[in-house]
Structure 1
């Protein structure tokens, strides 16, 4: 029974991360940490990495700390919260960096209506080069209007 609870904690954390991502993207990345996120909104990336990639570390560190303290001195719920954040980070990497921005050419010809809708919504987000007037700050949940269903 406890394993089902831990699986539930992991799934719930993954789902809650979408809201945290939306809030962080809108109020932190397009707010006081815009100087790290700004290069991500420029038409051409300069080099392999962007300053925006620092957010990988900003989000990975709490996940790693939670997983560490989730096994020390014995397994507890913190491990599964950390895993939920890690799984969300993996999904974010695959959706945002691989599928949407195609920093890796793994999914070039995606036809799935949901994934195409995610790409459309993100393109709308990037039509604004500045930090103001943004829209579509989430990653996995976007408004229905972007889907051809």
Structure 2
């Protein structure tokens, strides 16, 4: 067993913000850590996640959706922790931005209904309010950045 696989096996769970299926019922829970399913996947270890109006609609129960529990959040930034063998433009350790919407290339193969066209809006895909997330079709679905360091625009 490779060291990276051994480490993943030891840490098979992660903490995540989980919507429990009805309004105002959100908890931080231990959930299964995502793994590579398709060779075009990447796993991102999240550093920050945004909370937007869509998350609040889900929390308040005003956005229709599944009654099954799922991890919230659909915007985030982090570092690549694993890549599938077919990922060509990204490497472990690369900083990336996770956009709200999925890459069009995998909408037809990953999702069961059009409603779940973003992360954190149903149980089919993970959400970004977690330690890790699986990104299908990572080459098209992630935005590489050079750094997360803050800069002062007055000195640039």
Q: TM-score, normalised by structure 1?
A: 0.25
1 or 2, which has the higher strand percentage?
Answer: 2
User: Which has more radius of gyration?
Assistant: 1
